[in-house]
């Protein structure tokens, strides 16, 4: 039974957004960043420490995720904080962690 037959119409804009989000997340470092953030707001410096690569590398990947609407940011004095901007993306990250990284937990 298709999703439309079950009363769940699939909108083209939802499919496009999902495809763009998955494409943007489909990089090992970006996935690591997203798993590190989870449902928390984290500073760039904390992300660098937790992920373990250079700040310039992290910043490039954060910009991609922000530009695609996956992350939101806010500035507080000289620190920039990032969080996942969409509850659907949080659910997806949680499911990926459950399936692929059970040692990390949700």
Tokens of 21: 């989000």
Among 81, 91, 86, smallest CA distance to 17 is for: 86
Domain range for residue 83?
Answer: 13-97
pLDDT per residue, tens digit, the chain (106 aa), is 444 455 567 888 888 888 888 898 899 999 999 988 988 999 999 999 999 999 999 999 999 999 988 999 999 999 999 999 988 888 888 888 888 766 654 4
For residue 84, the domain's CATH number is: 1.10.10.10
Provide the pLDDT for residue 71: 95
Site of tokens 């083209």 = 12
Domain count, the chain: 1
Q: Is residue 103 part of a domain?
A: no
Q: Is residue 43 part of a domain?
A: yes
Provide the pLDDT for residue 41: 96
Q: Is residue 90 part of a domain?
A: yes
Which whole-number Å values give the CA distances from 13 to 16, 18, 22, 65, 81, in the listed order? Answer: 5, 9, 14, 18, 28
Q: Is residue 104 part of a domain?
A: no
């Amino acid at each position: 039974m298709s999703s439309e037959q079950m009363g769940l119409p699939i909108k083209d804009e939802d499919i496009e957004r999902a495809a763009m989000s998955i494409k943007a997340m489909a990089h090992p470092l970006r996935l690591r960043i997203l798993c590190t953030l989870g449902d928390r707001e984290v500073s760039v410096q904390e992300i660098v420490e937790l992920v373990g690569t250079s700040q310039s590398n992290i910043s490039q990947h954060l910009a991609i995720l922000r530009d695609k609407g996956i992350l939101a940011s806010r500035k507080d004095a000289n620190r920039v904080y990032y969080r996942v901007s969409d509850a659907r993306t949080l659910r997806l990250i949680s499911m990926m962690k459950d399936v692929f990284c059970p040692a990390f937990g949700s």
